[in-house]
């Protein structure tokens, strides 16, 4: 039930962190993976490590997303089974110091990027029950976070996008779900490197530790597999109990 043999997957932001771990987990489960990232060298490094193809992708660029979708679909005779909208960025600032440019940029990458890539893969998604769109949100989108009004708004937007798209694509037998992970990655380094912030964060995690990216990846394999064929429109926190 958890094998992905013969299926093609496109993972955005897969040059490192959770995206790289997901790409590897998919490949280990038998999928043919297209690794994408805005950083070409990072994408190449991940792809070479798992024997996959790669391409440069700015998720805000509709033409680049269309090209990536076509390349990924070619891995499985014109069918793209799995899209993971993982690409992201942060620009933390307390609200009085948060600029409009920083607010718009984070929404563009997360929300517009998820829209653009989902739109790009739509023509290639199968209607046999194996089509999957997996979005990445965060506890910030579920509960809010101080100093990241832009990030929290973007991640909440992804939740609404996930639920709406799930209702639309259900008629095509495609599932759409979201994961809200928490792991030791470059995006959380600013918290982990600050002694006070790190202590506060750990105090809110019932399991009392940060996950490694590969601990998160199995949840993506689950949502991509036949085991999750009757689950759609859901948000699964994978955060050590932070959101309960």
d(CA 1, CA 4): 9
Tell me whether residue 230 is one of the annotated catalytic residues: no
For residue 112, the 8-state DSSP code is I
Can you tell me the distance from the alpha carbon of 134 to that of 95, in angstroms, rounded to the nearest whole number? 30
Helix axes of 17-28 and 40-50: crossing angle, nearest 10 degrees: 30
Q: Which residues, 6 or more positions from 101, have their beta carbon under 8 angstroms from its beta carbon?
A: none
Contact indicator for 220, 25 with CB cutoff of 8 Å: yes
d(CA 116, CA 17): 22
Residue among 237, 220, 243 nearest 4 (CA): 220
Q: Which of 54, 124, 151, 230 is catalytic?
A: 151
Residues forming the active site = 151
């Amino acid at each position: 039930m958890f094998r992905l043999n013969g299926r093609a997957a496109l993972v955005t932001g897969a040059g490192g962190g959770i995206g790289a771990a997901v790409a590897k987990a998919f490949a280990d489960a038998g999928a043919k993976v297209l690794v994408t990232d805005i950083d070409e060298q990072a994408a190449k490094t991940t792809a070479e490590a798992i024997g996959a193809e790669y391409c440069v992708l700015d998720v805000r660029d509709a033409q680049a997303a269309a090209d990536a979708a076509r390349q990924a679909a070619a891995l499985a005779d014109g069918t793209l089974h799995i899209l993971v909208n993982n690409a992201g960025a942060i620009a933390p600032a307390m609200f009085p110091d948060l600029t409009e440019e920083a607010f718009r940029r984070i929404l563009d990458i997360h929300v517009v990027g998820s829209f653009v890539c989902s739109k790009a893969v739509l023509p290639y998604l199968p209607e046999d029950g194996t089509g999957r769109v997996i979005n990445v949100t965060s506890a910030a989108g579920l509960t809010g976070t101080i100093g990241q009004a832009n990030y929290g708004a973007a991640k909440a937007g992804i939740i609404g996008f996930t639920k709406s798209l799930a209702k639309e694509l259900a008629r095509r037998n495609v599932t759409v779900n979201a994961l809200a992970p928490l792991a030791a990655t470059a995006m959380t380094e600013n918290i982990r490197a600050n002694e006070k912030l790190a202590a506060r964060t750990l105090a809110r995690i019932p399991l009392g530790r940060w996950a490694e990216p590969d601990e998160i990846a199995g949840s993506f394999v689950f949502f991509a597999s036949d085991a999750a064929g009757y689950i759609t429109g859901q948000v699964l926190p994978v955060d050590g109990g932070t959101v309960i």
